[in-house]
Structure 1
Amino acid sequence: MMSGDKDRFSIVTFAIEDTIIKAPKELIDEQHPQLYKDFDFMGFFLFAFSNPAKHIDSGEQLQAFASLPPPISD
């Protein structure tokens, strides 16, 4: 159950060896650019339990690990 007006982000996390997590190409275009780099779950898992990540709010760890710079607009 949720309350309040904050945005909530959910990701499915599962450990399947050598699986890359990425946005489907059909969902990415000029108006909807890719926001996160493709990554393997184990890399994110190891990051989430690393010393640097201990100081990052769990809701911001994915952003810290996999975010891409914003696209340059003309």
Structure 2
Amino acid sequence: MYDVASEPSPDCTDSPSHIDGNNITLLQEDEAGGFQFLKGGEWMDVKPIPHSLIAVAGDGFQAWSHGRVLNVKHRVMVKKQQSRLSMTFFNVFPEVMEIKAPPELIDEEHPQLYRSFQNREFIQYMMKHAKERDDQLLMMYVGIPAPTS
């Protein structure tokens, strides 16, 4: 539950912009809304739909899906002078799990993008580097540079 904003403004956030490091986040929010995602350099509002969930892929799912499902930078903005209620559910791979793309997702047209990694080690890396370019943490930690010609 977020309290009423005394004076909402375009830059008043309940949740600063970030990318989730987990697998998938499910969000249910009330009619107050406020959830936004970054697309092409612009913040896009997600209109609340009653009895629905917003699914957000995190770094773990992007790595496991071999980049077929992308993570997304998002935030929550205070839009109105009213209380806001939201519920969030996080799905996280087990700490001891090795995260790697299934072999059938890697071929000549889709070369390997990420090395396999232990989820525990990635979580520790994210915690240590949380303030640094969170939109690049996955590539900084497990990315395989594209070959140069």
TM-score normalized by structure 1? 0.71
1:1-74 equivalence runs, <5 A = 1-2=36-37, 4-6=39-41, 10-11=57-58, 12=61, 14-50=92-128, 53-71=129-147
Rounded to whole Å, the distance in 1 between the matches of 2:146 and 2:140 is: 14
- Tell me the matched-pair count: 69
Rounded to whole Å, the distance in 2 between the matches of 1:68 and 1:4 is: 24
How many percent of aligned residue pairs carry the same amino acid?
Answer: 30
User: What is the CA-CA distance between 1:30 and the residue it aligns to?
Assistant: 0.9
The runs of 5 or more residues in structure 1 that have no matched partner are none
Deviations 1:12-44 (A, max 9, x none): 462414211111110100110110000111100
Rounded to whole Å, the distance in 2 between the matches of 1:68 and 1:57 is: 18
Higher helix proportion: 1
Root-mean-square deviation (CA), in Å? Answer: 2.5
TM-score normalized by structure 2? 0.39
Higher strand proportion: 2
The runs of 5 or more residues in structure 2 that have no matched partner are 1-35, 42-55, 62-90
**Secondary structure, aligned partner of 2:57:** coil
Classify 1:49/1:2 alpha carbon distance in 2 versus 1 (closer, same or farther; 3 Å).
closer
After TM superposition, what 4+ stretches of structure 1 lie above 4 angstroms from structure 2? none
